[in-house]
Amino acid sequence: MKKKNHVLVTGGAGYIGAHTVVELLNAGYEVTVIDSLERSELRIVEGIKSITGKEFSFHKIDCLDASAMKSLFEANQFDSVIHFAAYKSVNESVEKPLMYYQNNVGSLMTLLEAMKQYRVRDLIFSSSCTVYGQPDYIPVDESAPFKKAESPYGASKQLCEHILEDMATVGIRVASLRYFNPIGAHPSGLIGELPIGVPNNLVPYVTQTAAGVRAQLTVFGNDYDTPDGSCVRDFIHVCDVASAHVNAIQYLEDLKAGKVFEAFNLGTGKGVSVLELVQKFIEATGVNLNYKIGPRRPGDVEKVYANPEKIVKSLGWNPQYDLGQSLKHAWQWEKKIHGLS
Ligand code: UD1
């Protein structure tokens, strides 16, 4: 059998990164993980090892550290890179725009510099549906233009995609995966998201409320132009997000020579409202949830969900989990964090 390629995963101890490392190891890839551990913990790295029973190299490196990145590339021959390392809080980015541009754009630039110098050609980039803003039509496809970003976080993702498009001319081949709303955790209950402080995202807030860490969930707005008045999103199991990265690596590996920058929507294609998700959580877990309706959250997009046709056709990717399973797994992980049964 052909030896599988060596993949560098930046931010591999993070939420989506860790689940992707599991998929890569299970698919037989040699994996090197780097993470600053600023927003994750070593126990996630241990969790990956327990799930897969496989070894991989882990280095505590911040992608902004150009000399550490150079040494890493000097010491390893990578075939491809998956770049997760970035900040992802919309609210925080509004408060600290410079920190977001520095970290999200700066780390990509340092990485690209190393890739160029050491002739590593293939890159999978963690993008986001936030690049579309509120699209003119839904389900949104990849040809929809970028609208003005709602936050510095969104703008940083748009900027990164522009930079990557320009890199195609110097021989870096890119698949940019535009995630919709990843939720859930690994079915083993050994890895999942570790939100810092009060979660901004819906599902960690839901599970923390169910666990009694938060008193009450606030649904931000029920007066939107949607069937039940709450916002509509495309929630996707994190393991399905993770598996798409393996398809994307194979896609780049199989390409003939030439310039490549391809963006792919990574969503299920199903729009689900916030209130529907709350009901589904109660139904799937049997746990009651204390919630109230509150005012709209500034900067929220009313409704967005993916047209996933391109990723399904070109990468042969298909999601495996439904919303109920995703929420059950999210709940299982939350209980694990608090030692609840
Ligand atoms: C946004 C971005 C997404 C990005 C993510 C990173 C868009 C459309 N999506 O996700 O690309 O990766 O941030 O954090 O720009 N909600 C509540 N109560 C809560 C929390 C959330 O009602 O306590 C609602 C929000 O108003 C929203 C929905 O739940 O309608 C989802 O919110 P969230 O999980 O924060 O994700 P997005 O804002 O959609």
Which pLDDT band, with edges at 50, 70 and 90, does 2 fall under?
A: low
Region 278-284: what's the mean pLDDT?
A: 98
Give the rounded percent of residues in the chain with a pLDDT score beyond 70. Answer: 99
pLDDT, position 299: 82
Residue 18 class from Cβ within 10 Å (0-12 exposed, 13-18 middle, 19+ buried)? Answer: buried
**Protein residues whose CB sits closer than 6 Å to any atom of ligand 1:** 88-90, 128-130, 179, 181, 200-202, 205, 217-220, 231, 233, 274, 297, 300-301, 304
Region 59-77: what's the mean pLDDT?
A: 98
Average pLDDT, the chain: 96
The CATH code that applies to domain 6-185+235-268+306-320 is 3.40.50.720
Give the residue whose CA is nearest to atom 9 of ligand 1: 130
Residue 254 class from Cβ within 10 Å (0-12 exposed, 13-18 middle, 19+ buried)? Answer: exposed
pLDDT, position 211: 96
pLDDT, position 150: 85
| Extended beta strands in the chain, E state | 6-10, 30-35, 57-60, 80-83, 122-128, 173-179, 181-183, 217-220, 232-233, 235-237, 261-266, 272-273, 291-294
Per-residue pLDDT tens digits for 108-136: 999 999 999 999 999 999 999 999 998 99
Query: What ligand 1 atom has the least distance to the C-alpha of 294?
Result: 22
Which pLDDT band, with edges at 50, 70 and 90, does 78 fall under?
A: very high
201 CA to centre of ligand 1 in angstroms = 5
Per-residue pLDDT tens digits for 132-180: 998 999 999 999 999 999 899 999 999 999 999 999 888 999 999 999 9
Domain ranges of the chain: 6-185+235-268+306-320
Per-residue pLDDT tens digits for 294-309: 999 988 899 999 999 9
Token reading at 127: 């993008």
Which pLDDT band, with edges at 50, 70 and 90, does 340 fall under?
A: confident
- In this predicted structure, the answer to whether residue 252 has a pLDDT above a threshold of 80 is yes
The total of other beta-carbon atoms located within 10 Å of residue 71's CB is 14
pLDDT, position 123: 98
Give the residue whose CA is nearest to atom 26 of ligand 1: 220
Please confirm, yes or no, whether 153 is among the known catalytic residues: yes
Which pLDDT band, with edges at 50, 70 and 90, does 85 fall under?
A: very high
Query: What ligand 1 atom has the least distance to the C-alpha of 231?
Result: 30
Which pLDDT band, with edges at 50, 70 and 90, does 339 fall under?
A: confident
Give the residue whose CA is nearest to atom 19 of ligand 1: 202
> In the beta sheet, which residues pair with residue 237?
183
pTM greater than 0.75 (yes/no):
yes
Q: Please say whether the beta carbons of 256 and 132 come within 8 A.
A: no
Bridge-based pairing state of the strands 80-83 and 57-60: unpaired
pLDDT, position 195: 87
**CA triple 309-315-320, angle to 5 deg:** 75
Integer Rg of the chain from CA: 19
- In this predicted structure, the answer to whether residue 1 has a pLDDT above a threshold of 70 is no
Query: What ligand 1 atom has the least distance to the C-alpha of 154?
Result: 15
- In this predicted structure, the answer to whether residue 75 has a pLDDT above a threshold of 60 is yes
Q: Using most ligand atoms within 8 A of CB, pick from 100, 181, 193, 238 the residue to mutate for ligand 1.
A: 181
- Residue 37 Cα distances to 6, 10, 117, angstroms: 22, 11, 26
* Catalytic option among 15, 153, 205, 224: 153
53 CA to centre of ligand 1 in angstroms = 34
- Tell me the residue type at 76: N
310 CA to centre of ligand 1 in angstroms = 24
pLDDT, position 3: 67
Residue 258 DSSP code:
S
Whole-angstrom Cα distance, residue 272 to residue 232?
5
The total of other beta-carbon atoms located within 10 Å of residue 218's CB is 14
- In this predicted structure, the answer to whether residue 241 has a pLDDT above a threshold of 90 is yes
